[in-house]
C-alpha cells in the first residue's frame, strides 16, 4: 500500500518557499504571474482577499494584454459596470438550480461511459483514461454540441488549452472554435433548445443581449477556465485520498464526507496558482506602497495555506471545519463555474468509488515513478495508475 510517506510531491518545495514569504516578505516586490509587468506578489490570505474585494482600486483590466488576446474580450478582464451587466447575462446558465438538471443525464452519463471503458480490466491510468476527457465531454454535452462533433471539439480544446507550449496551434484552434461556434449560435438563434448556448443567445436583461462575438469569447474562455482546472482537480483529489487510506476508507463508507474531502483537496492543491489585478490608483497593501499602474499578483496557493487562518495548513484533513478558501477567488469575479466544478468532482468521485472497489495506487507504477508531474507554475499530475477489484 502506498501511503502518505511515499506519496509523490505535489509542489511541497514551492510551498516551503511560499511559507517563508508569508513569514518574512508577504508583499514581494515583483509581480510573478506570467505575462504581468512591474508590481508585487501577495502571499497572505487577508491581503489577497482584500484586493479581490476592492475592484475599484484593483482592476481586472490587466488581462486585456493576456487572456483576451487569445479568447477575445471576456468578462475576466472587465470592471463594473460592464462586468456586472455582462456577468448577469451569462450567470443564470451556471446557477446551482439550473445545473441540477445536468447532474444525472449529462454529468453522470459521461462518467459512466468513461468508466465502462476500463472497468473490466482491473487497472486504469486515471489522468489519461478519465480526468482529461471527463470535463471536456461534460462541457460539449452541456453546450449541446452534436455527438459527432465531440472528438473534433476535444482536439481544438486541447490545442487551445496547450497554447502556452505552442502559440501558433493555439491561435489556429481559437479561430477554428470561433467559426465552429458561429454555426451553432446561429442555429440556436433560429431554434433554441435545452442547452447552455441556447441560454446564452436568449439571455436578456433590461433589453440587453449578448452579441455573437461576446458569446464566442465566453465559450472559448470556458475551456481554460472550466475544463483545464477541473481536469487538474480530480486527479489531485484522488491522489490525496489514495495516499491517505484512512480518509479513503472513511469516504467510501460515508459519502457525507465527500464535500469535506473535495474542499480540502481544492484548498491544498489549487488548480490556479496565480491570478492578477492592476492598481487603478495609488494604494497600500500591508504597509507597502503600490503605485497606480502596478500589477498585483495573488498567490492563491499560498493564501490557502496561511497559518493565520488554518492550523497545520499543509496537512490533508477531510474533517477540518470549512473555512472559505481562495481557490475560486472572491469578490465580483469569483469563479462563475464553481458550482459546476464541485458538481462534476462530486459525481466523478462517487462514481469512481462505487464502480472501482478496492481502488489503490498501482504499486509497480508508483515504484517506477510512473506517478509524476508536469505543468506550469506548480506540478500537475500527468499520470495516476491505479488497480481495483473486478
Residue with Cβ nearer ligand HEM (91 or 367): 91
Could you tell me the smallest distance in angstroms from the CB atom of residue 146 to ligand HEM? Answer: 21
Asked if residue 329 binds ligand HEM (CB under 6 A), the reply is yes
Q: How far is the CB of 122 from ligand HEM (least distance, A)?
A: 29
Binding residue (CB under 6 A) for ligand HEM from 225, 294, 347, 386: 225
Q: Which of 336, 361, 384, 386 binds ligand HEM (CB under 6 A)?
A: 336
Q: Are strands 295-299 and 39-42 parallel, antiparallel or unpaired?
A: parallel
Neighbouring C-beta atoms of residue 99, cutoff 10 Å: 19
Residues 273-302 touching ligand HEM, rule: CB under 6 A, are: 275
**The only residue of 89, 197, 222, 273 in contact with ligand HEM, by rule CB under 6 A:** 222
Instruction: Enter the C-alpha cell of residue 221.
Output: 474562455
Calculate the alpha carbon distances from 153 to 147, 168, 305 in Å.
10, 18, 37
- Name the segment binding ligand HEM (CB under 6 A); options: 117-125, 209-217, 219-227, 315-323: 219-227
- 230 binds ligand HEM per the rule CB under 6 A: yes
Does 185 help bind ligand HEM (rule: CB under 6 A)?
no
User: Scanning the structure block, which residue is given the C-alpha cell 433560429?
Assistant: 190
- Among the listed ranges 9-17, 102-110, 114-122, 229-237, the one in contact with ligand HEM (CB under 6 A) is 229-237
236 or 366, CB closer to ligand HEM?
236
The footprint of ligand HEM on this chain (CB under 6 A) covers a number of residues equal to 23
Packing angle, helices 338-355 and 109-116, rounded to 10: 40
Residue number with CB closer to ligand HEM (338 or 383): 338
328 is an interface residue for ligand HEM by CB under 6 A: yes
Judge residue 119's burial from the number of C-beta atoms within 10 Å of its C-beta, 0-12 exposed, 13-18 middle, 19 or more buried: middle
Q: Would you say 140 or 272 has its CB closer to ligand HEM?
A: 272
Please name every residue paired with 123 in a beta bridge, in sequence order, or none if there are none.
387
Residues near ligand HEM, by CB under 6 A: 75-76, 87, 94, 221-222, 225-226, 229-230, 233, 271-272, 275, 327-329, 333, 335-337, 340-341
Amino acid at each position: 500500500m502506498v501511503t502518505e510517506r511515499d506519496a509523490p510531491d505535489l509542489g511541497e518545495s514551492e510551498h516551503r518557499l511560499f511559507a517563508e514569504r508569508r513569514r518574512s516578505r508577504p508583499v514581494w516586490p515583483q509581480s510573478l504571474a506570467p505575462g504581468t509587468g512591474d508590481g508585487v506578489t501577495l502571499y497572505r490570505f487577508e491581503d489577497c482577499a482584500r484586493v479581490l474585494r476592492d475592484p475599484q482600486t484593483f482592476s481586472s483590466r490587466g488581462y486585456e494584454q493576456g487572456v483576451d488576446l487569445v479568447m477575445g474580450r471576456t468578462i475576466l478582464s472587465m470592471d463594473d459596470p460592464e462586468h456586472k451587466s455582462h456577468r448577469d447575462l451569462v450567470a443564470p446558465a451556471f446557477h446551482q438550480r439550473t445545473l441540477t438538471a445536468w447532474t444525472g443525464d449529462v454529468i453522470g452519463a459521461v462518467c459512466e461511459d468513461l468508466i465502462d471503458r476500463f472497468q473490466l480490466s482491473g487497472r486504469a491510468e486515471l489522468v489519461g483514461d478519465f480526468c482529461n476527457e471527463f470535463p471536456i465531454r461534460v462541457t460539449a454535452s452541456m453546450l449541446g454540441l452534436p455527438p459527432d462533433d465531440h472528438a473534433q471539439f476535444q482536439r481544438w480544446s486541447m490545442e487551445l488549452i496547450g497554447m502556452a507550449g505552442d502559440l501558433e496551434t493555439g491561435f489556429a484552434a481559437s479561430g477554428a472554435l470561433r467559426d465552429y461556434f458561429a454555426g451553432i449560435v446561429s442555429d440556436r438563434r433560429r431554434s433554441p433548445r435545452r442547452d447552455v448556448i441556447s441560454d446564452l443567445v436568449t439571455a436578456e436583461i433590461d433589453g440587453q443581449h449578448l452579441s455573437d462575438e461576446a458569446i464566442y469569447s465566453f465559450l472559448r474562455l470556458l475551456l481554460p477556465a472550466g475544463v483545464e482546472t477541473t481536469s487538474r482537480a480530480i486527479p489531485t483529489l484522488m491522489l490525496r485520498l489514495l495516499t491517505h487510506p484512512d480518509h479513503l476508507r472513511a469516504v467510501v463508507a460515508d459519502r457525507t464526507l465527500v464535500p469535506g474531502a473535495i474542499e480540502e483537496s481544492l484548498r491544498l492543491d489549487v488548480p490556479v496558482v496565480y491570478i492578477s489585478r492592476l492598481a487603478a490608483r495609488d494604494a497600500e497593501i500591508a504597509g507597502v506602497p503600490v503605485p497606480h499602474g502596478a500589477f498585483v499578483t495573488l498567490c492563491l496557493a499560498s493564501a490557502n495555506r496561511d497559518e493565520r487562518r488554518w492550523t497545520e495548513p499543509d496537512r490533508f484533513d477531510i474533517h477540518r471545519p470549512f473555512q472559505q478558501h481562495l481557490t475560486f477567488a472572491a469578490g465580483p469575479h469569483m469563479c462563475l463555474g464553481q458550482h459546476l466544478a464541485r458538481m462534476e468532482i462530486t459525481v466523478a468521485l462517487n462514481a469512481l468509488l462505487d464502480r472501482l472497489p478496492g481502488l489503490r495506487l498501482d504499486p509497480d507504477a508508483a515504484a517506477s515513478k510512473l506517478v509524476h508531474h508536469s505543468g506550469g507554475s506548480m506540478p500537475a499530475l500527468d499520470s495516476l495508475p491505479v488497480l481495483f477489484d473486478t
